Amino acid sequence: MKIILAQQNYHIGNFEHNTQKIIEGIAAAKAQGADLVVFSELCICGYPPRDFLEFEDFIRQCYHAIDMIKAHTQEIAVLVGCPARNPQREGKDLFNAAWFLHEGEVKQVVHKTLLPTYDVFDEYRYFEPSYEWNIIPFKGKKLAVTICEDIWNLGDNPLYRVCPMDMLMGQEPDVMINLSASPFDYDHDEDRKEIIRANVLKYRLPMYYCNTVGSQTEIVFDGGSLIYDAAGNIAKVLPYFEEAIGGMDLEDLVSKGEAPAEMVAFTPLTELVYDHNINRIYDALVMGIRDYFGKMGFKKAILGSSGGIDSAVTLAIACDALGSENVRAVLMPSPYSTEHSVDDAVALSKNLDNPYDIIRINDIYESFLATLEPYFKGLPFNVAEENTQSRIRGNLLMGLSNKFGYILLNTSNKSELSTGYGTLYGDMAGGLSVLGDVYKMQVYALARYINRDKEIIPVNIIDKAPSAELRPNQKDSDSLPDYAVLDKLLYQYIERRQGPKEIIAQGFDSALVSRALKMVNTNEYKRNQFCPIIRVSSKAFGVGRRIPIVGKYLS
């Protein structure tokens, strides 16, 4: 039996597009001589559909897509992910389901048992967990079909009370098949491989694991679908961050090779490593921009180019994602901008061959100050004058965006967002945040990665001390701790959810810990108004981190 995995990029709610893509995948699998082709979790409607699931019309269109696809299953069996109605009155109205289609019919529907309700997941809001477990008989083999989270309940501290595979083993399956929508983060691929391998070694069965690929607003799916033989060895890996179709004969997996001598449990990063999987982070950000624009029908981007590291990295990634000709950089020097910053920004755009403009804001800034002077009443220069420059820039960028149809890319990094080091309606403006889940030191690592073959980002941008240039001789270090220390501290609090005592025990200064955590928690109101952030870490700001705005904890 030849089983093919179809790793595809879907568009949430675009039923015509998704259905056509799946039909094309079936045809490609037939051409490879497949007996069965496996698609990813909720591929019919796209993942995560969220509150679209509350619309009956949405579910009707899901069922209509199933009807169209099953007509192409006369000579091949197909597993697709699609919501399924719950026939019982009790419980939620829907299941997250895998539909087994063959000979033009729906032969069987498997329901997901374990419904994640953490981080970016909220499946129990919509779905009823499965209450029965059955293998799928096909061509003399017994298929144990599970959906994403169903295989993640192993280890010494399981999140759920049941393992679906434990329930299925009594029916003596021959192979495990998992339909997934497993999001990317820079530490997750290793974790994913180990959990699949742990299942293979526990149940002594080969596994076909089909993951989706593509970006859905803030969530990036990296693909990397896997096939393991029964001994726990990787037999095939599909590419990351691109669509692919491929598989293997089941017979080649049953007794292929010896299992490694011992099982090595995956250990997540215990501290921030700036360049860890930096190539994957880069690819995820490129895909995040490209899919956001492509799926929303946007063509061109605009951003403020300051001569600093954040805007430089954002511009380089955007040019890769959209084409340099489609990314417009606007340099907006104020009275406190240095000429070398302007020169660096110009050199960057010349290296990237993207269009750029220089709009000096000195006169606009002076007119604002003159208008506000009677109300400021001679009070000393402070953050009010600094932020006025930033908001002027935001207004200019949005004016150009509205006039020419650009989407404004935000250039703030995670370190700044964490500590509130940004101006609402100024440098925090944007339609999509590119670096909002990337700490400052990771931004430097991205710059070095971008320059790996030749100098694209001028070295001076990488070497100079970071500065907002909103007052004379300003440096970020005037307001924030050194990024090399701050980023590691923030990682402990945000990604690892360590409290102040645990962080101090790691050697961080107690006063610095108290100050940093207070900055994080008191600036939740700013982040709550921020644009969508492309997620590349295990804990990004946005839908996966829900912190009260008016909470008192550590503030």
Kindly list the distances between the CA atom of residue 229 and the CA atoms of 34, 201, 232, in Å, as whole numbers in the listed order. Answer: 18, 10, 6
Kindly list the distances between the CA atom of residue 187 and the CA atoms of 193, 198, 258, 449, in Å, as whole numbers in the listed order. Answer: 11, 18, 27, 18
Contact 495, 439 (CB under 8 A): no
* 505 CB neighbour count, 10 Å cutoff: 10
Catalytic-role residue among 41, 123, 128, 495: 41
According to the annotation, is 278 in a ligand binding site?
A: no
Contact 531, 422 (CB under 8 A): no
Distance CA 381, CA 506 (A): 39
Verify whether residue 41 is a known catalytic residue: yes
According to the annotation, is 449 in a ligand binding site?
A: no
According to the annotation, is 336 in a ligand binding site?
A: no
According to the annotation, is 311 in a ligand binding site?
A: yes
Residues 6+ apart with CB under 8 A from 298: 292, 405, 407
According to the annotation, is 433 in a ligand binding site?
A: no
The sheet that has 327-331: what strands, in order across it?
Answer: 356-358, 327-331, 301-304, 407-410, 432-433
Verify whether residue 62 is a known catalytic residue: no
According to the annotation, is 182 in a ligand binding site?
A: yes
Catalytic-role residue among 43, 82, 148, 319: 148
According to the annotation, is 308 in a ligand binding site?
A: yes
Verify whether residue 148 is a known catalytic residue: yes
According to the annotation, is 326 in a ligand binding site?
A: no
Q: Which token pair is 501?
A: 């005592």
CA atoms within 13 A on the CB side of 417: 28
The sheet that has 207-211: what strands, in order across it?
Answer: 136-138, 141-147, 175-180, 207-211, 226-228, 234-237
- Our measurement of the distance from residue 47's CA atom to the centroid of its chain's CA atoms, rounded to an integer in Å, reads 12
Distance CA 205, CA 144 (A): 10
Query: Which residue reads 């192409």 in tokens?
Result: 72
According to the annotation, is 2 in a ligand binding site?
A: no
Query: Which residue reads 């999001």 in tokens?
Result: 183
CA atoms within 13 A on the CB side of 191: 16
End-to-end CA distance of the chain: 60
Distance CA 176, CA 194 (A): 15
According to the annotation, is 212 in a ligand binding site?
A: no
CA atoms within 13 A on the CB side of 409: 37
Burial zone of 347 (CB within 10 Å; 0-12 exposed, 13-18 middle, 19+ buried): middle
Kindly list the distances between the CA atom of residue 455 and the CA atoms of 278, 340, 354, 505, in Å, as whole numbers in the listed order. Answer: 18, 17, 16, 41
- Read out DSSP for 237-275? EPPBSS-EEEEEEGGGTTT-SPPPSS-------SS--TT
Contact 146, 111 (CB under 8 A): no
Catalytic-role residue among 70, 112, 414, 440: 112
According to the annotation, is 194 in a ligand binding site?
A: no
The conformation of residue 190, written as its DSSP 8-state character, comes to H
Kindly list the distances between the CA atom of residue 177 and the CA atoms of 127, 143, 228, 263, in Å, as whole numbers in the listed order. Answer: 21, 7, 10, 22
According to the annotation, is 262 in a ligand binding site?
A: no
Distance CA 542, CA 431 (A): 14
Annotated binding-site residues for deamido-NAD(+) read 387, 416, 526
Annotated binding-site residues for ATP read 304-311, 411
Active site residues: 41, 112, 148
Annotated binding-site residues for L-glutamine read 118, 182
Annotated binding-site residues read 118, 182, 304-311, 387, 411, 416, 526
